[in-house]
Amino acid sequence: MFAMTSMGAKIDESINDGRGPYIFKISGQVCHHVGSMRPSRGQRPEYAQLYIFDTECEVSNRINVASSSRTGSSSCTTSSSRIASSTCTLFQANEGIVQSLITMLNTHNPIVKLFRTASQRLHGNDSDHLYIRIYGKPDAHGDIYSAPVASEVVGLVVGDLGSSNVGRDIIIEDHSSRLQQINEKHCKFMSMQYPLLFPYGEDGYHDELMCLPVSNASNQRQKVTMLEYYAYRLHDRPNDFNTPLRCKRLTQAYFVDGYCSVETFRIAFYRKPSFQRKYRSSSFSCLADSVSKGITSGSSVGQRIILPSSFTGGPRYLYQNYQDSIAICRKYGFPDLFVTFTSNATWPEITEALSSIPGQEPSDRPDIVNRVFKMKLNILMDDIKKKQFFGPINAGNKRSLKLIFPSLNIVFCWLLNMFYIPVVIYTVEFQKRGLPHVHIIIWLAKEAPLDAQKIDSYISAQLPDPVKDPIGYEVVSSFMVHGPCGPLGQSSPCMSEGKCTKFYPKEFCEQTTVRENGFTEYARPNNGITARKNNVDIDNRFIVPHNVDLVFKYQAHINVEKVNHDGMHKYLFKYVTKGFDCARIGLHSNFSTSASSTETVNEIDNYLECRCVTPNDAAWRLQQYDIHHTDPFVERLPVHLPLENNVIYSEDDNLEQVIEDPKNVTTKLTAWLDANMQHPEA
């Protein structure tokens, strides 16, 4: 309602169709634009125009803009006013409050003050052409918490700008149909998008933001990075009223916008021609074929706009993680357990942290939810790896040392156990409602496949006896009941075409059985024990496999499954490295492997068009937590067939010279093979 700029993004409102808390979710590319001072003929004023045009009816204009945004299509690219309009869905806007906010901004916001000055000039029928210029450099005082002086922030330019260099400055013309995109490194980027979060027009991130000096610091950087700035803003501090953390839905939008700005800045580096020229590559044999056809220019052989595997969350990053998982499986065999740990928004640590600000819900503070979940995830990994909750984890290094030193004494064995390498992989993802969860794959140290008795010691798929184990019964009935769905709940989210997508309810089974193909049927006895959920009696057919001790300790949904060894591992690795749900759509369009193709495949644009970002996802990445963990580390070696190694070259290179260069034939693999031939001990 008060935003001066529009945020172009595909805002997914379908996620809020249910009864859960509001979640701000976007997909695709995000950009911010500002238009002219006056709207086109026949159009309503919006965004910055509301501060300049038809100010006599400003209150009603703002309410009408929010209402019309609410009735618009939510599937197309939308503006940030939809965030405000979603609030109007439940509450009618109060004209008195809107007028009070307008008065506050008129009094304290220097950008609004200049908009009002421009409005007066326009109403005065001044014949000169006007521009508003919002400087891209930071305020002279450099304090992001102090109110800037209007003359330091913006300028009213009379006449024509001519050929003057505006750099990152924002230029708002008197009347124009052209939209100007705002650079995410502009110091007023956030204060113009969220004036209620920054009512004094405070500076946000900019290139000149300096680090404070730290004593005894070596190689200290001079300037703050964009990621560090937004990570800093995610914390409450004494004597610092952090407005962006107290505005509920606007807080969610701020987190998403901040992370998208960081990612846009990173991707801008990968878009640079100087970077992309390094990553024009092809196999040696394909280059030789091109030369034999008379193609000698590097620019004539097809190009890809590469998004390298070093970019976290990109397709190449996910594919490399999948290959790492396969390499671990090749070394240690099939995995044994698959654990899914989901955060609980009602954890006491979360409710206690939220109580410092009355009225806050877990959905209002994804940063707090993430911190608590990360701490509990670290404790869970210690339980699995160090305390060996499921028994000894597969560790090749420790076994080999025992073979070399069979007479190790007890003390040395204990010390050795402290340094062995466990085999665990996990990936952090985010639910439809935004809460984080983690998929963990575990390799156990064992001499034989897990039998039914061993499986029962790890996994249960039934309600504990409420008389013998009332605590276990309480936690399992609270966290590990699926649905109810099927005939008992046709409206359950898991239902599709009248069937449960998770195949519940299961069949009763008196004892755990391992089939010949390795598939496990967990014990689900028909013993008459039930639990009450949504006014429906639930029996063992609806219980999700779990470990009751873990569920009790962490007070959360923790699904524990035995991994089927009949080819299931590949599906499992793909499942945990799949990335975004929408990232599987259209990533390989226009793909060509032909060496002579001149068609450009832009991996960066494909990634941006297919990504989805929620507040918890954005906060997790801004907090710099890992989304994937592999233990042990996998060294990636370039394995290839003869003359099929990748050759990196520039578009300015002559391909004949490229294939004649000896270093383009020698690789790490060929050097290793040569070493084996020359040195028998290798």
In a domain, 436, yes or no: no
Instruction: Give residue 477's pLDDT.
Output: 94
**For 393-418, what is each residue's pLDDT tens digit?**
775 544 333 333 344 444 444 444 44
Give every CB contact of residue 163 below 8 A, 6+ residues apart in sequence: none
Last residue of a domain, one of 151, 173, 192: 192
Which residues fall within 8 angstroms of residue 655, CB to CB, at 6 or more apart? 287, 290, 291, 295, 296, 297, 298, 301, 649
Position with higher pLDDT, 50 vs 170? 50
Q: Provide the pLDDT confidence category of residue 682 given band limits of 50, 70 and 90.
A: low
Residue 500's domain comprises 450-564
Q: What is the pLDDT of residue 552?
A: 96
Confidence (pLDDT) at 76:
43
Query: Can you give the C-alpha Rg of the chain in angstroms?
Result: 30
The predicted structure's pLDDT at residue 153: 53
**For residue 35, pLDDT beyond 70:** yes
pLDDT band at 281; cut points 50, 70, 90 = low
Residue 604: inside a domain: no
Q: Quick: pLDDT tens for 170-191.
A: 877 777 777 888 888 888 899 9
**Residue 336 tokens, joined:** 């044994």
Please report the pLDDT score of residue 384 as a whole number: 92
Mean pLDDT of 342-351: 95
Banded model confidence at residue 587, pLDDT cuts 50, 70, 90: very low
Rounded-to-integer distance, Cα 529 and Cα 472, Å: 13
The whole-number pLDDT of residue 18 equals: 67
Please check whether residue 479 is in contact with residue 551, taking contact to mean a CB–CB distance below 8 angstroms. yes
Distance CA 114, CA 549 (A): 63
Please, which pLDDT band fits residue 126 given cuts at 50, 70 and 90?
low
Task: Report the pLDDT averaged over residues 450-466.
Answer: 91
**Is residue 551 one of the residues assigned to a domain?**
yes
Identify whether 170 is part of a domain.
yes
Mean pLDDT calculated for residue range 593-616 = 74
Tell me the average pLDDT across 95-116. Answer: 90
- Give dist(CA 367, CA 167) in Å, integer: 34
- Using the predicted structure, report yes or no on whether residue 588 has a pLDDT greater than 50: no
CA distance 654 to 618: 44
**Per-residue DSSP letter, 238:** T
Could you tell me how far CA 186 lies from the centroid of its own chain? 23
- Is 412 inside a domain boundary? no
- Dihedral of CA atoms 262, 267, 273, 275 in degrees, nearest 10, equals 90
Please report the DSSP string for 193-231 in residue order: H-TTTSTT------TTPBPPP-TT-SS--SB--HHHHHH
Is residue 587 a part of any domain in this protein?
Answer: no
Model pLDDT for residues 297-340, shown as the tens digit of each residue: 655 555 667 888 888 888 889 999 999 999 998 888 889 899 99
Q: Which of the two residues, 265 and 125, has the higher pLDDT score?
A: 265
Higher-scoring residue by pLDDT: 7, 104? 104
- Least trusted range by pLDDT, from 386-400, 411-425, 585-599: 585-599
CB 611, CB 585: distance < 8 Å: no
Looking at the domain assignment, is residue 631 inside a domain? no
Q: For residue 536, give both structure tokens.
A: 């429906």
| Any domain includes 520 | yes
Provide the domain count of the chain. Answer: 2
pLDDT above 90 covers a percentage of the chain that reads 31
Cα dihedral across residues 663, 664, 668, 670: positive or negative: negative
Asked whether residue 626 carries a pLDDT value surpassing 80, the answer given is yes
Quick: pLDDT tens for 178-234: 788 888 888 889 999 999 999 998 989 988 888 887 777 666 778 899 999 999 999
Residue 61 CA to residue 38 CA, distance in Å, equals 14
What confidence category does residue 420 fall into, taking pLDDT thresholds of 50, 70 and 90?
low
Please say which residue of 510, 535, 564 terminates a domain: 564
Q: pLDDT exceeding 70 applies to what percent of the chain?
A: 79
Give the pLDDT mean for 651-674: 83
- The average pLDDT across 43-59 equals 85
Average pLDDT over residues 45-61: 86
pLDDT, the chain, mean: 80
Q: Which of residues 520, 535, 564 is at a domain's end? A: 564
Question: Is the pLDDT higher at 72 or at 514?
Answer: 514
Summarize pLDDT for 468-521 with one digit per residue, the tens.
999 999 999 999 999 888 888 887 888 888 888 888 989 999 999 988 877 889
Give start and end residues of each alpha helix (H) in 336-488. 348-354, 366-385, 396-404, 410-418, 452-458, 470-479
